[in-house]
Structure 1
Amino acid sequence: MTGAIDAAAADRALKSRHRAMWALGDYPVVAAELIPQLGRRLVAACSVREGQRVLDVAAGSGNAAVPAALVGAQVVASDLTPELLEVGQQSAKRAGALLEWREADAEALPFDDGEFDTVMSCVGVMFAPHHATAAAELVRVCRPGGTIGLVNWTPEGFIGQMFAAMKPYAPAPPPGAQPPPLWGQEEHVRALLGDGVTDLGMRRETVTVDRFATPEAFRDFFTTFYGPTIAVYRNIADDHERTAALDGELAALARRHAGPSGAMEWEYLLVTARRSA
């Protein structure tokens, strides 16, 4: 019994850290300025239609949830971090979108089995630390025959490589936590969803990001606005040599990926599937 209590306490502490990390900086700015089209791409891939019941898991400020609501779906946007939901509500209001916002853990969704016609997540659920648990929840709350759709950064793509560059400077992950970019590997997703789905489709696509005039501008933007990057820098704040080394690595990463115009192509895995009967 003591072991179970300790495990539950450790999980609560882990989720608290995740919640705080995503509240750092200003992730809604990242989503709005760099990847607004990803949410719309996911909504189209899931063929979201008017009247459908849709759940956006780890929705952040509603990159996919708001476009789904604008086509007439009945949308619930859920996220672990209430600060992101608050921004999303304001964005939805400005866009004229009506939807429900719920604070929720992707690994313990507060919804009934089979409650939704479509369950989706746009570079969101991939950051839940326990992949199999999160995947099982996606499947559980989707009705038989319903659609599950995901956009996940790949390990080989720009964001996956950014996390690889930051890893040596970050705190050691807790036992059992898995790296987010694994969700961008086809075999990993296939194993996670297993026989819970049919008609599993996966394709690698890219999103063009042309926001940054220089590699250093990319680095400075992410160290200002992106919670995971801010958290890594805070971990090494007292070590000036390591801070300078990470500065150099992030700028070098952007330099390698930038084309002649400075634009970058960030690779992601688009996943669609049907919930098994």
Structure 2
Amino acid sequence: MTDTVDATAADRALKARHRAMWGLGDYPAVARDLIPELGRVLVAAAGVRRGERVLDVAAGTGNAAVPAALTGAEVVASDLTPELFPAGREFAARAGAELAWEEADAEALPYADASFDVVLSCVGVMFAPHHQQAADELVRVCRPGGRIGLVSWTPEGFVGEMFRTMKPYAPPPPPGAQPPPLWGDEQHVRGLFGDRVTDVVARRRTVTTSGWETPEAWRDYWKSVYGPTIATYRNIADDPERVAALDRDLAALAARYDRGAGGTVLDWEYLVLTARRA
């Protein structure tokens, strides 16, 4: 009994840290200014249609939920961090979309079995620490014959490299946690879903980001807006040498990927994966 209580308390503390992390910086600006196309790509890949009941898991500010709602679907945008919802509601209002916003943990969704026609997640569920639990929930709430659609950063792409770069400076992951970019590995996701899904289609694509004069300017922007990066810097804030080292490492990463002329341009690879619930 004590072990169960301790595990439950540890999980609550972990989720509280995750919720706080995604409330840092300005993730709504990242979603709005850098990756707005990802949600539209996912909605098209999943074939969302008018009248379908759709759940967007770890929806953030509604990058996928809002375009899904614009098809005429009945959409629920769920996220562990409701602090993101005001920006999501503003985004929806500007687009003329109507949908529900509900606080929910991707590893313990508060919805009945088989209650959605389509279950989506756009660079969201990949950040749930326990991949199998999250995958089980995606499958559970999707009706038989329904679709699951995911967009995830790949391990080999820029964002996957960025997480590897930050790892030595970040707090150690909790027991059982897996790296988020594994969701961008088709075989990993197939293993999570197993024979509970069919008709798996996976394609790698890139989104081009720009707007910085130099790799160092990208780094300074990123360490001010992106929750995981801010949390990593806070972890080493009392060690100026490590802060300087991470500064160098992130700028070097951006310089390696930079294909701009007169400004920094970065291509970020992601995986679009769709499947049908068996």
Q: TM-score, normalised by structure 2?
A: 0.98
Superposed CA offset, 1:240-273 (max 9, x none): 1100110011111111101143321110111000
Partner residue in 1 for 2:166: 166
Superposed CA offset, 1:38-71 (max 9, x none): 0000000001111111000000000000011111
Describe the SS at the equivalent of 2:212.
coil
- Structure 1 distance, partners of 2:130, 2:84, is 21
- Structure 2 distance, partners of 1:70, 1:272, is 20
Partner residue in 2 for 1:41: 41
Could you tell me how far 1:89 is from its partner in structure 2? Answer: 1.2
Describe the SS at the equivalent of 1:263.
strand
Partner residue in 1 for 2:182: 182
Corresponding residue pairs, total:
276
Could you tell me how far 1:213 is from its partner in structure 2? Answer: 2.1
Partner residue in 2 for 1:205: 205
Partner residue in 1 for 2:265: 263
Could you tell me how far 1:20 is from its partner in structure 2? Answer: 0.3
Counterpart of 1:185, as a letter, is D
Counterpart of 1:145, as a letter, is G
- Structure 1 distance, partners of 2:213, 2:72, is 38
- Structure 1 distance, partners of 2:250, 2:136, is 34
- Structure 2 distance, partners of 1:77, 1:211, is 29
Partner residue in 1 for 2:65: 65
Unaligned runs of 5+ in 1: none
Superposed CA offset, 1:121-153 (max 9, x none): 000000000000000000000011111000000
Describe the SS at the equivalent of 1:25.
coil
- Structure 2 distance, partners of 1:250, 1:99, is 38
Deviates more, 1:87-96 or 1:65-74: 87-96
Q: TM-score, normalised by structure 1?
A: 0.98
Counterpart of 2:225, as a letter, is F
Pairwise CA RMSD of aligned residues?
A: 0.8
- Residues 87-166 of structure 1 aligned to structure 2 (within 5 Å): 87-166=87-166
| Seq. identity, % | 70
- Structure 1 distance, partners of 2:260, 2:163, is 24
Unaligned runs of 5+ in 2: none
Partner residue in 1 for 2:252: 252
Partner residue in 2 for 1:274: 276
Q: Does 1:19 align with 2:19?
A: yes
Maintained 8 Å contact 1:34/1:211:
no
Describe the SS at the equivalent of 1:167.
helix
Describe the SS at the equivalent of 2:211.
coil
